[in-house]
């Protein structure tokens, strides 16, 4: 479910001319149609379709979560009035409400040109919103249960190009993590002095998925994703856990 600018999902608000009784009748007709549909189709297909409607109905009951006017002014100021701050603040509220996975996206970092001015306008916003999330989750005693990950697609070239920019560099990149299952204040891995190549043991995204699943209590070597009867590992079976970051 994608949100934009801190607003509710499109189509979540029921039309004002549709009464509760009309909505209940409409839902009952759909359920009867689902029963007829299920007689000739696989059970998991029908259940998946019904699940979408059920979740939408539950979401309609929680529309207050998206009412930005209900946030305390001090929280809005701490997170920042910019888009990233608003999304991070809404993300915290969704976690408090029991949502199990939240992703907040920050755009504009692909600075192939004018890198320094571009990042100067972005870094302060990220630091403000990210630190506020960590502070609030810690204050609410939620960090033992919530794994927070801040990452990008890959790194940027250590060398500056002719447009004063930095290009794509997948050979060495970093991320920050906090919360569930992790040690505090640990730095794992390093690059050479030029920031061009990893020194020592290398880890890629497969190792990180193993680590993340282990941190939240899922054994990545024993748990599979059932792809229509074909079990697939949830993390690359040739990778392993980054043990030094786990508690």
Query: pLDDT per residue over 141-178, tens digit each?
Result: 999 999 999 999 889 999 999 999 999 999 999 999 99
Spatial contact of 231 and 163, defined as CB atoms under 8 Å apart = no
64: left (phi over 0), alpha (psi -120 to 50) or beta: alpha
The rounded distance, in Å, linking the Cα atoms of 142 and 121 is: 30
User: 111 near 166, Cβ under 8 Å?
Assistant: yes
57-79 per-position pLDDT tens digit: 888 888 889 888 999 999 999 99
Predicted structure pTM score: 0.86
Structure tokens at 18: 């549709």
pLDDT in tens, 116-147: 999 999 999 999 999 999 999 999 999 999 99
pLDDT bracket for residue 193 (50, 70, 90): very high
Q: Give the CA angle between residues 14, 15, 20 to the nearest 5°.
A: 65
Give the pLDDT band (50/70/90) at residue 45.
confident
For residue 53, the model assigns a pLDDT of 84
Distance (Å, rounded) from C-alpha 137 to C-alpha 92? 8
Q: What average pLDDT does range 190-207 have in this prediction?
A: 94
């Amino acid at each position: 479910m994608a949100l934009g600018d801190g607003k509710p999902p499109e189509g979540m608000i029921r039309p004002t001319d549709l009464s509760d009784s009309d909505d209940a009748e409409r839902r009952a007709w759909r359920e009867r149609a689902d029963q007829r549909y299920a007689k000739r189709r696989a059970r998991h297909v029908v259940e998946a379709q019904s699940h979408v409607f059920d979740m939408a109905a539950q979401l309609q009951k929680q529309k207050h979560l998206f009412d930005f006017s209900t946030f305390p002014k001090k929280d809005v100021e701490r997170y920042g009035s910019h888009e990233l701050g608003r999304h991070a603040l809404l993300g915290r509220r969704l976690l408090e409400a029991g949502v199990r996975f939240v992703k907040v996206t920050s755009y504009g970092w692909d600075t192939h040109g004018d890198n320094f001015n571009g990042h100067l306008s972005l870094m302060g916003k990220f630091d403000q919103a990210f630190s506020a999330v960590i502070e609030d989750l810690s204050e609410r005693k939620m960090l033992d249960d919530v794994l927070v990950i801040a990452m990008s697609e890959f790194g940027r070239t250590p060398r500056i190009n002719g447009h004063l920019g930095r290009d794509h560099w997948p050979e060495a990149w970093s991320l920050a993590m906090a919360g569930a299952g992790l040690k505090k204040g640990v730095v794992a891995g390093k690059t050479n002095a030029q920031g061009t190549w990893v020194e020592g043991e290398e880890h890629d995204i497969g190792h990180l998925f193993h680590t993340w699943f282990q941190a939240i209590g899922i054994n990545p070597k024993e748990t599979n994703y059932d792809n229509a009867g074909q079990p697939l590992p949830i993390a690359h079976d040739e990778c392993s856990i980054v043990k030094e970051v786990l508690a």
